[in-house]
Amino acid sequence: MWSAGRPGKCRCPDARLELASGRRGPLRERPERDLARRYLERIGKIGRGVGLDAPDVIELDESRARRAEERKRDEAAALRAALDPKLALFALDEGGKTMSSEAFAAAIGRRRDDGAAGIAFVIGGADGIDPSLLADAQARLAFGAMTWPHQIVRILLAEQLYRAATILAGHPYHRA
């Protein structure tokens, strides 16, 4: 195996990536859906050489509970039921840590090199992520201090996962 910072071929089992979200139905807007899909497909192509599978996308319907706390609890239960328990949980949360693209790639590479089954990235619904699910997360990530629409977060995450795969592969897409 090679260390997370060095590009090259990986002789390790493929690490699974999952993107899970609690929100109101699938992405309906064609441009956003298509852009996210394009990045996810690219990960499947370049990721094979560095031990990363193309991400599985899990979309759950937003809870219909009246109160925000109940909705978050319902969504957390649905996410737990849908996610593979062997995967490390990374939660996208406005209170999370910001990372450089290189640090994000290194974190994914370390998990892969350590033999982890993979990583499940969770994007919360409109009310955010339940505190119990955040407590279970091995990492909390943020794309800055601003609040982003769910569709944009999915695109940003898909692009950063693709960028991480290119960094791990030594591909010139990332120019730092």
Residue 29 lies in a domain: yes
In total, how many domains does the chain have? 1
Residue 9 lies in a domain: no
- The domain in which residue 111 lies consists of 16-169
Residue 93 lies in a domain: yes
Residue range 87-128, pLDDT digits in tens: 999 999 988 999 999 999 999 999 999 888 889 999 888 888
Residue range 6-48, pLDDT digits in tens: 344 433 344 566 666 655 455 556 888 899 999 999 998 998 8
Residue 105 lies in a domain: yes
Asked whether 20 and 123 are in contact (CB, 8 A), the reply is: yes
Verdict on whether the full-model pTM lies above 0.95:
no
Residue 3 lies in a domain: no
Residue 5 lies in a domain: no
- Binding positions for S-adenosyl-L-methionine are 92, 124, 143-148
CATH of the domain at 55: 3.40.1280.10
Residue 8 lies in a domain: no
- Binding positions are 92, 124, 143-148
Residue range 148-171, pLDDT digits in tens: 888 899 999 999 999 999 999 999
Residue 6 lies in a domain: no
